[in-house]
Amino acid sequence: MKTVKEIMSKDCVTATTKDNIYELAVLMKQHDIGFVPIVEGKKLIGVVTDRDLVVRGYAEKHSGSSSVNEVLTHHIKTIEGGTSIDEAAKIMAENQIRRLPVVENGELLGVVSIGDLAVREIFVNEAGDALSGISEQKHREPAAVH
């Protein structure tokens, strides 16, 4: 049985709470990503998405020099590297999330995304169900990532 550690993205672009929201926006643009794990050393503190920047950052009139803490999601769903791909797909579908940080003892190892599941044609139905469930949520009030 394959685990998420085998398919996750290991070279994640990360930032720290010392960064500001403008720097995060630039990172996202440079690397063509919409999700940045926030770390202290290797310890995962939370995540920031492009949506977080818009909804909790600029729409709340925070300037680009505002701290990452203004837009950071602290309570996030994570999984361990030994989690099966099937279980990861199930967690993503149940929680309506596209990306799961992979941690060990609180330290970030990588990130597994719906794309990682779908591109490898692993549990395509579960990945599709998760994506379709997320897409249905687009017109609802955003829920915090658990």
Q: What is the pLDDT of residues 61-120, one digit of tens each?
A: 888 899 999 999 999 999 999 999 989 989 998 998 999 999 999 999 999 998 888 755
The pTM of this model reads 0.79
Residue listed under structure tokens 């920047």? 53
pLDDT digits (tens, 9 = 90+) for 117-136: 875 554 445 555 555 555 55
Domain borders along the chain are 4-138
H or E segment and range at residue 92: helix 85-95
- Non-local (6+) Cβ contacts of 53 within 8 A are 21, 24, 25, 28, 71
pLDDT of residue 37: 97
pLDDT of residue 130: 57
| CA count, 13 A, side-chain hemisphere, 116 | 23
Report the CATH architecture of 4-138. Roll (3.10)
